[in-house]
Amino acid sequence: MSEKEKVDRLMVKSVVKAFRILEVFDAEHPAMSVKQLAERCDMDRSAAQRFVHTLTQLGYLQRNEETQLIEPSVRTLDIAAHYLHAHPLVDKVRPYLLNLSKETEGSVSLTILDGQDVVYLSRLLSRNMLDTDITIGSRLPAFCTAPGLAMLSQLAEQEAVEILERTQRKAYTPSTVHEVPEIMERLARFRRQGYALSVEEYFLSDISIAVPVLDRHNRPRAAVSISMSRVRSMPEELEQNLSDLLIATARQLSRL
C-alpha cells in the first residue's frame, strides 16, 4: 500500500484490495491460482480467497474449467466500454480518423496522457501496418512515442520534467532517446513546429507523427497520430503533408 493510501482516511481499503486483484492480471499472468494472486497482491491466502469469491460472484472473475485457474471475465470490459461511451471525443473523432486513414493509408489513433503513459482510446489499423499488438486500452510510455511527446510538449517545462523523472526510461530500441535533457530539447522543438515525430523508438520499423488536441486552456486533451511501418526514413515532403493533415484535424477536434 502506498503512503498516500495509508494516510487517506477516506480510502476504503477493501476496495483498494479488490482492484489490486483485478489489476494484477497481465500478458505474463493471464490466469493464476489463489495462492499466486495472494503472493502478487501481498495479502494472505484467506483474504485473497474472499476477494476472489466476491469478484467472481459479481461477474468480474471466473474460474477456467480446464485449468481451474482464476482469470478475468468478459464483464471487466464493461467498465472500459462505459468510459469510452462517456468520453467527449471518442465518438466524435471517428469520422476524422476515417478521413485520415483514407488520405494517408497509415494507422491512425486517438490517445490521451495518463501519468507517464499514453493510452489508446481509438485506433484504425492500416492494411499496410505491421501488427504491433496495440489495441484500444493499450498503454505505451509517453517519453518515446509520438503521441506522448506531442502532449508533453504542450505542458509547462517543470511539469514535463517531473513526469519524465517519474518515468522508468530505458532504450527500447537503439533509436530510443531516454535521457531527460535530450527529451526536453525535443519537446521544445516539437512545441515550436506543432507536431512530434518518432522514428523506431519503441517499435522497430515504425514511424509515427502526432499532433496534440488542446483544451480551451491550451493544455493537451488528447493527441491524434499516424503510424507507418517498413519505412526507414520520413521524406521531408511526406512529413510536411502528414503534419499539415494532423494539425488541421487536431484544430477541428480542439473546437469540439
Task: Give residue-wise pLDDT tens across range 146-193.
Answer: 999 999 999 999 999 999 999 999 999 999 999 999 999 999 999 999
> Cα dist. 194→70, 108, 113, 224 in Å?
47, 18, 17, 12
> Cα dist. 217→112, 155, 214, 224, 254 in Å?
16, 11, 8, 18, 11
pLDDT surpassing 60 at residue 3: no
pLDDT of residue 7: 66
pLDDT of residue 198: 95
Q: How many CB atoms lie within 10 A of CB 85?
A: 9
pLDDT of residue 225: 97
CA distance 61 to 51: 10
Helix axes 34-41, 13-23, angle to 10 degrees: 120
pLDDT surpassing 60 at residue 81: yes
pLDDT of residue 130: 56
pLDDT of residue 100: 94
Question: Is 32:70 a contact under the CB 8 Å cutoff?
Answer: yes
Task: Convert the pLDDT of each residue in 88-133 to its tens digit.
Answer: 899 899 999 999 999 988 899 999 999 999 999 999 987 666 556 7
Confidence of residue 6 (pLDDT cuts 50, 70, 90): low
CA distance 90 to 110: 8
pLDDT of residue 129: 60
Could you tell me whether strands 107-114 and 117-124 are parallel, antiparallel, or unpaired per DSSP bridges?
antiparallel
Residue 90, C-beta contacts closer than 8 angstroms, at least 6 positions apart: 84, 110, 121, 122
Confidence of residue 45 (pLDDT cuts 50, 70, 90): very high
Question: Is 135:120 a contact under the CB 8 Å cutoff?
Answer: yes
**What average pLDDT does the segment 222-240 reach?**
83
pLDDT surpassing 80 at residue 215: yes
Residue 108, C-beta contacts closer than 8 angstroms, at least 6 positions apart: 97, 100, 101, 123, 124, 224, 225, 226, 227
pLDDT surpassing 70 at residue 232: no
Question: Is 108:226 a contact under the CB 8 Å cutoff?
Answer: yes
pLDDT surpassing 70 at residue 245: yes
What average pLDDT does the structure give for the chain?
92
**What average pLDDT does the segment 66-81 reach?**
94
